[in-house]
Amino acid sequence: MRSIFGVGLAAVLALTAGCGAGGDGRPRELAAFALDQLDEIVEPADETILMDRENSADGRGSLRVDAKRARIVRLFEVPLADLPGREIVCTMRMKSLVMRGPAFPELWASGGGRDPISVRDERGGVAHSMDWRDVSVSLVLEEGWKPDRIRVNLVMTGAGRVWVDDVRLTAGKPGAGSAPGGS
């Protein structure tokens, strides 16, 4: 398992290097996770959280999660050094097999002297058996709030199997096109 420090360091380096757009209003990438190896996620791998080289949106591997009942899997925690706007968007590729309820991403923002907030789009994920699709969820922060950490979870509301691949976190001005595709 990659340490939270390692994941956070990669995100901070991306922020300080000025990845993505500058002051032109376009979203800037905060972090990207290809999910080609298990050490990218926070949750410890076990017999229900596996690397799957045969099912992948990009052909290089994906994260497979099996559930016998509802569960939440902690995927990533990204520290924020500088936030270039108030809207944070998480996009990912998802696939499902025999899900007994929807599965979808969940975003949490915390720190900055305020209570944590979260958002999820229960209708925008995957359910039943679905092929790869783009899924996104966005969180618009209150004016002036600068959270110091973003957490990305996978929520599974019932038994089944889900694959996750190519996760991206972007930030920008609300409505600036931060959420490509998905919901």
Question: Domain span at residue 24?
Answer: 4-172
Residue 76 counted as domain residue:
yes
pLDDT of residue 105: 97
pLDDT, average across residues 122-137:
94
Residue 181 placed within a domain: no
The model's pTM: 0.82
State whether residue 86 is helix, strand or coil.
coil
Does a structural domain hold residue 183? no
Q: Please report the sign of the dihedral spanned by the C-alpha atoms of residue 57, residue 63, residue 67, residue 71.
A: negative
Domain count, the chain: 1
Say which residue, 40 or 92, is predicted with more confidence.
Answer: 92
Tell me the Cα Rg of the chain: 16
Which CATH number does the domain housing residue 33 bear?
Answer: 2.60.120.260
Q: Give the confidence band of 15 by pLDDT, cuts at 50, 70, 90.
A: very low
The pLDDT tens digits for 154-183 are: 999 999 999 999 999 999 988 765 444 433
Q: Does a structural domain hold residue 182?
A: no
Residue 179 lies in a domain: no
Q: Where residue 1 falls among pLDDT bands split at 50, 70, 90?
A: very low
Residue 67 in any domain: the answer is yes
